[in-house]
Structures are given as structure tokens and as C-alpha cells.
Amino acid sequence: MMRQYELVEKVAAYKPELDEALLNRAYVYAMQKHGSQKRASGDPYFSHPLEVAAILTEMHLDEATIAVALLHDTIEDTDATRKEIDHLFGPKIGQLVEGLTKLKRLDLVSKKAAQAENLRKLLLAIADDIRVLLVKLADRLHNMRTLGPMAPEKRARIAQETMDIYAPLAGRMGMQDMRDELEQLSFRHLNLDAFETITARLAELKDRHAETIAAIERDLTAKLKENGIQATVSGRQKTAYSVFSKMQRKALSLEQLSDIFGFRVIVDGEEACYRTLGIVHRSWPMVPGRFKDYISTPKQNDYRSLHTTIVGPSRQRVELQIRTRAMHEVAEYGVAAHAVYKDRAASGAVHLSKDSNAYGWLRRTIELLASGDNPEEFLEHTKLELFQDQVFCFTPKGRLIALPRGATPIDFAYAVHSEVGDACVGCKIDGRIMPVVTELANGDEVEVITAKGQTPPQAWENIAVTGKARAAIRRAARTQIRKQYSGIGQQILERTFARAGKAFSRDALKPLLGKLGHREIEDALAAVGRGELKSTDVLRAAFPDFQESRVTKAMERAEDEGWFNLRTAAGMIFRMPGRARVKPRRNGNAIPIRGAGDDMPVRFGPDGAVPGDRIVGIIEPGKGITIYPIQSPALTAYDDEPERWIDVRWDIDEAMSERFPARIVLSAKNEPGSLAEIAETIAVNDANIHNLSMVSTAPDFTKMIIDVEVWDIQHLNQTLRQLRAKSCVADVTRVNG
């Protein structure tokens, strides 16, 4: 374990004017707080923050960042408090340490939701100070290096989280060395057999081609020197994970990969990069389609370099990366490179340059936090944004848009602006009208065709690749649904106010919003439309002194009992809040939908209904209530009688052992044993045949209607799936399903 003076010496080696007292205080405080705590390996727990600090010294980070690394687990794992750290080390360091502390006591349904909330908190802290990210990645790197003693399930979970989030995040912020090591360590724990096999093969290839690699380095260095370019040429081998992922992605064997070995050429200036490229292409044949200029069009993580592939001296494909020393520093260390720290506030806070692409991506990701998505959606969107394979497309005015590989014009439209995406109705790619589902390629010029009043189809969510596009489509769908409900709510309120002899206006709702518990008029109207807010409550809020008439009181009682319903000309039901039972007219005892009781008998329509269906009740004078699925065509007969519609819901006791009716239509082969096989299938699935009739019989097929009794909609669907799987059944569907 590194000693206190050794850590100070490491930092002093690259930052002579450091605050040595700060490092000493942080070292001693963290060591005392962690005390006798042990890691899973049995090592002292303090060895972990110390190793995290050591990783950051390799990136030549300032002493404040090193101090945060030493303290990063104190609030989470010891009795240290934010107030105490603020007092001893200053509020800025306290803020950074708190940003690295996982949320505790999360009242969330799933571990995935908890993971998302912790990631949300981390990204917000990163946006405030980039040093949070650097400490977090170093923390994860050391945890991955020491993952061995953990239980297998925990190893797999942490490794998968690292592969899904932290390795891509390091790549997105330009820290390629960090990303490579995180991926390698995760790969080892997630797929040990593949890791060991590929690692062994790569070792064999390295030994076999050692002389060839050395010869290429010598030849290339000499060729550049002849032309007056001083360059450092170094050979490198792809990692086991990058080889494995390329084999998986392109369905290739290891022998078919041509770029396992590559070479980096480091020169003094940008002009020398292009001169080097010209010399290389004049000296050796270039492989068509393999040249990429990331100097003129940098990647979103600020990576800049020239990439080309040539047929080298030994007739072997050789991949070259040509860059300056400054570009190389950014390529290796990303946001940790000194060039990125362009502004340092008086308070000592280090901010990511707002000119950088990495900051732009981070800012766009933070925007998703305000979209109102649930935690799992946020996690999904963030993962989508992290993956780095890109295509570069252009607007008609020449603006460069970088998108993930596989992106469509829908993603392009939302990358230009959310309003452009919402109004998109089509696109042109390189001047030709193309479907919006077309996969974009490098260099495509994309023109988005828009129309006023357009709303993106919800199906686009499954087509879009970027998290920004998916979030915007989902948000537009929510807005559209709210608009529909607010229209319903307005009609309900107009009717309620009219019956009370009062005039309704939207403006009259403005001073009532506080009482009603909503911020905007549209939200209040939508709440009425959804049945979350009673129209009579709005009436009383608007007219506190209003003396309710008998009619108004009857309306309120009807709402409370689930009897007040409206129906539009289009056939949409406006449902007011109702209980989960059908309510009787004369007393307070509830009648379960499943049976009959008191003076209000309940029965099902001819096609039945099962728990899981959305249902509606129709009052039959002298007969009681008939229950129909909401999609039943029989309901059209009552379009002009809205007073007979009532809101009903299922009131099912889990302990209840009763089946419910559903009608199915089945076409079976006309052969001996078919009916027996159908009956047996229904019986095996614990359903019951209540009635069966042959509708028509042909030489080959018989059509029959079967009334079955099942527990609920899942049970019915399972029974239908089993019937469809039978060779004697040509087709089976639910009536009105």
C-alpha cells in the first residue's frame, strides 16, 4: 500500500507548487474513517481509495482531485458527513464527494430503477464539475481490477454494468485507454472462455509477426525521415474484446480479420499529418474505402486523427493512425488531458470546455433528465447515447450531424432540433425522396420535410436509434394524449357548469389552479378528462357560495357512485371517477361484477368478458346491468342513449375461484378426432367449455363457436395459443377480441 509521502511525491513530480497540506489531511482523514474496514479480498479498505488516487496521478490531475479520490467513499461507507468534510476540506471538495455518493434508501421498484437514479445523480454532478467523472472512472477501474473475490453473481452484475455504462462513458469522454481496460476486464468476467481463447491466439500472432512489425516500424520511420518528417512510429495490437466484438459484429473468424495489428504515427503538427498521409499513399497501395479524416471532422468525444489502411511491405494490410502529439494526448486521456481544462474558476472548480464536443454530448444527455421519463427509460436512453460507432451526415446548408451507426432520418431530424423532428413527414437523402426508416450512411446529405401541425407517430419510437429522438417522440405522444383528455375535460366542465346555470370559461380556471392542485389549465382539464378531478369540485372552487340544486347534488352522487358518463359522437366514453364495483341505486352495499346481489343484477353480454378486459356497463330497464368489453360492436346500439352507460371495473378477490365467459370462433380440419383434441386442449389448460355450436361445415373444414370459461385474459390468451399450435386447428380467434 502506498505511503503518504509517496503519494505526495507522485503529485509533486508533475505539479511542484501543490497544496501538500490538503493531500496530507485527506490521507489521514480517510485512513482514520475507514479504520479497520476490510474489502472482500481481506485487504484494508483504505487501500481502495489510495489506489484510485494513484490511478489519477498517472493522468497528472491536481491535488484537489486526488484528495476527492481519497475521500470518495467516506460519506457512503463511514460515519463521515458532508458538513464535516465541508469544514475540513472546503465546500467544493464536499460537493464533489457527495456527487460520488450513491443514493440510499431508494423507494424504487427495481434494481434497474435504482441504477438509473444513481446514474442520473452522477451525470448531474459531472455536468457541474468534470472531476467527478474522472474519480468515478478511476474508482470503477480499480474495482474491476480487484473483482475476483466477489460472488459470481455480483461479479457478473458489476461487469455488465461496466460494459453497458462506464466503459462507453469513458469512450464518449475520449479516455480510450481507460475504456479499453474496462472492456477487457468486463469481457474476462462475462465470457471467460472467449477471453482466454482470443488472448492465447493474439499472443501466438504477436510472436509470429514480431519481426514483421519491427520491419514496418523501421521502414515507415525511414521513409518519413527521408522526406524531412520527424515521427514516432509504434506498432500496437487490438485488445481481445475489440477483436471479439468485431468478429461478432461482422460474423468473421479470427483468421479473416485484417487489422489486428495497427501503427500510430505521431508527428509535430497538423500539416505534417497530411504530408505523412501523402507520403504513405505514394509509397504503398491504399485500401479503398478505408480512409477517414477525423482531423477536419472530429468525433463527438473530440478525437482527432487520420485513419488509413495500406498494403504494407510484406503484402499485408496495415492500419495507420496519424496524429499530432496534442491529438494523441486527447485520444489517450480525453477530458483528463490538460488541453481540456481551459477555464479554472476562482473557487478552484474545473469545468469541461464548453467548446468541446464531449461537453455538448453531456449537455444533451442532461436534457433527457427533464423529459419526465421514468428511471428505466432514462437508463435506456443514456445507454443508447453512450455507444460510439458513428455516421457523419450533413444538412443541405453543410452543417455536420454525427449520429450513431444505424440511425435514420428520424434521428437526424431530432438531432437538428426537437421541433424539426416533431414536424417531420418525410425526407430527401442526396436529393432523392426516401423512407424515413432508411439507414443513414457516412456523407449523406439529409433534407427533412416538415408540415405544420404534424405529430410524430408513436411507432417511430421503435424505429429511432438515439435516446434524444425516442424521448422526444414519447414526450410528444404524452402531450397529444394530454391534449385529448383536456378536450374531454373541457366538455365535461361545460356540461356541469351549464346544468348548474353557470358559464364556464378557461380563463376562469386560472385563479383556481392552486386550489385544484395543478400548475396549468391544460393539466387541470386533463385531470377532469381522466376522471382524477371531479367536475363538481371545480364548480365549487369557482363558486364557493353556490347553493347546490337537487340536480347538482344528484350529479355529484352519481359521480361518486360511478354512474356519471358521457359519450362523444365519435363513440369515446368520458369516464368519471368510479369505484371498482358496480354500485346499487338504493343502498351502500357493493355488487361484485362477477355475480348478482341486492336489487341490481349483473350479467355478461353474449360474447362474455374476462378480467383484464376494459369493460363498460349498460343499464337494461327491469333487467339490471349488462357487462360488455369496451371493444364490443354491440355497444354501437346504445350510442344515442348515454344515460344508460355506466363506468364499471373488475373487483376480483385473489382468493376467488370463479371462471368468466368468453366466446371464440374456431376453424378445424374435418377429420376424425379433431373435436376430441380441441376439447382435450381446452381441458388441459384448465378452461371449461360452456357451450359449443357448429356454424358451418365444409368438406375440409368445420367452423364452430365455443363459449369457454377462463380465469382472466392471460388464461384466455394461453388457451388460444395452445389451440393454434394444434395441427387440426386452422384458425382460432376471440369474438370481439
Alpha helix (H) ranges present in 517-583?
521-530, 535-542, 550-560
Number of H helices, E strands in the chain: 28, 22
136: cell is 468515478
Q: Is 76 marked active-site?
A: yes
Q: What is the side-by-side order of every strand in the sheet holding 432-434?
A: 432-434, 424-429, 446-450
Q: Is 294 in contact with 320 (CB distance < 8 Å)?
A: no
Catalytic member of 19, 43, 77, 380: 77
Cα 529 to its chain centre, rounded Å, is 30
Cα 71 to its chain centre, rounded Å, is 31
Residue type present at position 441: A
Closest among 256, 264, 169, 255 to 213, alpha carbons compared: 264
CB atoms within 10 A of CB 622: 5
DSSP 72: T
654: cell is 385473489
Q: Is 274 in contact with 308 (CB distance < 8 Å)?
A: no
Q: Is 499 in contact with 552 (CB distance < 8 Å)?
A: yes
CA dihedral (334, 337, 342, 345) positive or negative: positive
Helix, strand and coil content of the chain, in percent to the nearest 5, comes to: 50, 15, 35
Which element (helix H / strand E) includes 85?
Answer: helix 82-89
Closest among 70, 302, 282 to 171, alpha carbons compared: 302
Q: Is 77 marked active-site?
A: yes
CB atoms within 10 A of CB 38: 11
CA dihedral (330, 336, 337, 339) positive or negative: positive
Q: Looking at beta carbons, which pairs linking 684-688 to residues 24 or more positions away fall under 8 Å?
A: 684/722, 685/715, 685/718, 685/719, 685/722, 686/711, 686/715, 687/659, 687/715, 687/716, 687/719, 688/659
Catalytic member of 19, 43, 76, 270: 76
Backbone angles phi, psi at 377, to 5 degrees: -65, -45
Query: Which residues participate in catalysis according to the annotation?
Result: 76-77
